[in-house]
Amino acid sequence: MSVKLIAVDMDGTFLNDNKEYNRARFAELYAQMKQQGIRFVVASGNQYYQLISFFPDIAHEISFVAENGGWVVSEGEDLFNGELTQQQFNTVIGHLLTLPHVYIIACGKHHGYTLRHYDDAFISMARAYYHRLELVDNFANLKDVFFKFALNLPDNLLDDTMSSLAGLFKGIMIPVTSGHGSIDLIIPGVHKANGLRILQEKWGIDNSEVLAFGDGGNDIEMLRQAKYGFAMANAPEKIKQIASYQTGHCNDQSVLDVIENVLKKEPPFNE
């Protein structure tokens, strides 16, 4: 079995700590991937509009599992949208607003929405990840398709908040970590692995033909589902333990190194 699909998380994986990647080297590898019939998929918790900005020349011909699987786009075509009901949205937002240390972004298909009164530092950070960000006075009467909430909070409150939210929102949303001081609330079953499954069904690709890279809690299902699940050296220990393989640090172009090995049919990709 050869690799037919390569899926990359972005922050802490494909991107280095400066939110950059070696574009010239990737362009060469991508040309070879196309020649060998290998699909390239960006699988990230980030907003679709932010993700396409990293691939201006090829966004129209690759696929995106954006918003942690909430929105799947292939070659510019919408394949899937998760969607909360209005009642579910109100239930979740009603509780989140009682948590004083939590900044909230409601992630919709057309925009991310956050509160105007939040401090400037948070809003500036949010704009880096949400190229379409609306500042609102409250979360009432927003007209959009909502599939995720992104939460920002102090690191020392992360574990306790994760535990309490998991219990409170059981059956509606599941909390996953997406980096330092951040939690994504995702719809149950609507994760990156589900997004990849949708694409795999479209293309007739088996899990044994999938290579995935990740470094965070929102990558767990994807790393387990893919035969070649690679955790980054900078990933937490629990992510390394569930992944079948490991590679180097995100600052060392390690994803590109592994892709090069795939193209050259080097171990473990020479079976």
Task: Count Cβ atoms below 10 Å from residue 89 Cβ, excluding itself.
Answer: 20
d(CA 216, CA 271): 28
C-beta pairs of 180-183 under 8 Å, 24+ apart in sequence: 180/155, 181/152, 181/153, 181/154, 181/155, 182/150, 182/151, 182/152, 182/153, 183/150, 183/151, 183/153, 183/158
Q: Which residues contact 204 (CB under 8 A, 6 or more apart)?
A: none
Of the candidates 9, 11, 215, 219, the residue annotated as catalytic is: 9
Distance CA 172, CA 35 (A): 43
Is 9 one of the annotated active-site residues of the chain?
yes
What count of other Cβ atoms lies within 10 Å of the Cβ of residue 137?
8
In angstroms, rounded to a whole number, what is the distance separating the alpha carbons of residues 206 and 170? Answer: 31
Mark residue 12 as left, alpha or beta (left: phi above 0; alpha: psi -120 to 50; beta: remaining).
left
Between strands 182-186 and 210-214, the pairing is unpaired
Give me the active site residues, please. Answer: 9
